[in-house]
Amino acid sequence: MMTILFASSMLLTSCYSYTSVVGEGAQGNNETTKWNHYVVYGLAPVGVSDSKEMAGDAENYTVHTRQSFVNGLVSALTFGLYSPTTTTVTK
């Protein structure tokens, strides 16, 4: 039973994630991270980060948006009424 629980927890570590590459992608390791705020199971955005603003004047960067473990935990504790995600811009 413990093996099944451990395997399930490893497979479900990130509910979803997607990556967008702008220009030639990240040229360094400079990261900026912000939370995006959604309500009603993620259907209605309340405050969403702007990746262009987070990148500043960089022309080449990578945007990674995901629901982290902490985001999923917060969503579970609020029964999905508040469902945050995390956006990370790497320049």
Alpha helices in the chain (DSSP H): 2-11, 51-55, 69-77
Distances (CA, A) of 59 to 12, 20, 26, 29, 86: 34, 13, 9, 15, 21
Q: Which backbone phi and psi does 48 adopt, to 5 degrees?
A: -115, 135
Q: What is the pTM of this model?
A: 0.79
Question: Are the CB atoms for 31 and 90 separated by under 8 Å?
Answer: yes
| Residue 41: band (very low, low, confident or very high) from pLDDT cuts 50, 70, 90 | confident
Measured CA to CA, the distance from residue 90 to residue 28 in angstroms comes to 7
Task: Tell whether the model's pLDDT for residue 43 goes beyond 60.
Answer: yes
Cα of 43 vs its chain's centroid, Å:
16
pLDDT digits (tens, 9 = 90+) for 9-35: 666 655 678 999 999 999 999 999 999
pLDDT of residue 5: 76
